[in-house]
Structure 1
Amino acid sequence: MSAPSQRPAARGPAALAATVLIALLTACAAPESGKATLAADAPLPATVPAGTKLIIGDPPTKVALQLSGEIDTFSFDVEWANLSGGPQTSEAFRADALDVGAVAEIPPIHANWTGLPVKIVASRFRKDPLTHPTYELGIAPGVNVRTLADLRGKKIAYSPGQAQGALVLKVLKHAGLTKNDVTLVELPSTGDVYPSALASRQVDVAPIGGVNIKRYTARFGRDGATTIAHGLRDDPGHLYVRTATLRDPAKAAAIREYVAAWARAARWVYEHPKEWIEGYYVKDQGLTAADGQYLVELAGEPDIPADWSQAIARHQETIDILATETGNPPLKAQDLYDLRYQAVGAEAIGGGAR
């Protein structure tokens, strides 16, 4: 007796509907409606496809590119977002309203700690950073602080999650002190909050940067206000993006092109100080030419290395200090960097800053 033939089971309306539903859900789950996804270890694409767009939050570079004449030369569309700093950038990332942000070293750390995976794609520093610090320690009128050892027992302005806050922790460690040896007063390091807090004796010490250094001593020096050097590197500047953005081959390629332009803009600023002072500090920021000249001299020459190993080692020291003080889990600094972009900036300026 022959065996019965094997026939496919009949598929009724319910089974067919379930199959269609699964197919629809699978299609929806595919990244970017079926677009190709770039693996994290895949080479960066060499060309940017037509129709690609980046939303970039990097106001100073926008002005530099306008002044240098390079702003209209991108092979992709750019929408400039007028925002900066870690909190604004992270908020825009989470809202899917930004592709590239410009910050110092702390925001990428805190982004990953708060469930927002990001990668650094460009890094810039300052040559001779101890001579050209980003911040100095402002000392309130009448407070006797001449060395870092004198910080013991003082009220120090502290901004968790920002570069100034991390700097305070580093300074304390460098001085052989802990948080228990001082009083940390939480204040946002925005605008002139820190100079005002110093002048009113709300705090004894605060890290102040940029033109605030000059203005603070000019305004309150007659009352005894001073600043002292902290003696540490505080010069990192990064471009960073969401890890998810780098899975898009078109955007990954466009980011590479932007990193190159960002590096050229930094060199242009250094090599054209008069145009930068007038076009950015005076016309865009509303500062005086004297303030602009002070800031140009304070910044010194940019250093855009082709090898990030030393930068990553310094970043790891920062992570370790913050993890210990905040209770957050340790991170590997190298995991914050996309090494495919490591040499892009240096190569864009002829490898002249290494």
Structure 2
Amino acid sequence: MTTTGTKQVQNVLVLGGTRFVGRHTVEALLAAGHTVTVLTRGQSPDELPRSVERLQGDREQGAAGLQALTGRTWDACIDVSGYTPAAVRASTEALANSVRRYVFVSTVSVYAEQHRHPVRETDPLLPAAPEELTEVTGESYGPLKVTCEQIVQNVFADRATILRPQIVAGPFDHTARYPYWPDRAAQSRQDGQPMLAPGDGSDHVQAIDARDFGRFAVRLLEDGTPGIFNVAGPRLTWAAFMEAIGAESVVWVDATTLEAEGIGWRDLPLYLADDSEQGGLMDVDATRALAAGLTLTSPATTAQDTRAWSAAQQTVYALTPEREAAALTAKQAARNGESL
């Protein structure tokens, strides 16, 4: 660690770092003047600046896959790619005496009672997955992250910082979740046709801008802050979200009609009704993070910047124009029937 003026410049290792959240985290570190090394498997496109040191390894192979770390030290590590206990066990043990702080990127999916409003860091967690489990599925994702958190905390104790992000949004989002909405709104503006929106506008949605997440991770490193933090963005009604993404013509379609048309959460990403079993995941309390320095980008800016990037991506989304049109027709038929 070196000092420039009143600021301490840190040498930071990022596990992952070339895609989405990792990329924004690396960019935030560089913008703050820190020195960055990334360890990746070398399988994803790498558009990081040349100043970033690249190491290659695969911690799924255990200690044998982390030879590139041997004999090296860093001020801190940010783990954005730890999904299985075996991988996190390998990296934490390899770095226990090589970094002062270990920041682990977890998820709000660790919470057991996801219908709670709001979801707080002190809420109960899902049962931890066995350390030998390596298959990441929709069902195992949360329990695996619980186990990963436990490993980080056991190895690093008060040198551990756990971040539990909500839905992450912004440019370079390859998940096809958040980008669907600004992309669909742009298409609707272009062709003059209304777009389907779920519910009646009163349910809620939350997303944290990946750039805000990256800057917050850097802030915690700089301050040496331990603990667990939910990282969530502004909580909007869906009506306000439609306005933020620039939707000009919207048709609200109720859950009954959506179900009848076979349209579910994969087709309408981000949508969780407030009273659903997972509705609390769109009511995540980030009070602790805000007090520690989290700053939030306006939802409209997140939407605009995501669209500016995604416009050139030609992403194929689950909800086809034909299925959306069928649902809108069914909704209009139901309205006509109600008016008779």
More helix as a share of residues: 1
Q: Same fold (TM over 0.5)?
A: no
Larger RCO, structures 1/2 (Cα 8 Å, 6+ apart): 1
Given the two structures, how large is their TM-score scaled by the length of structure 2? 0.29
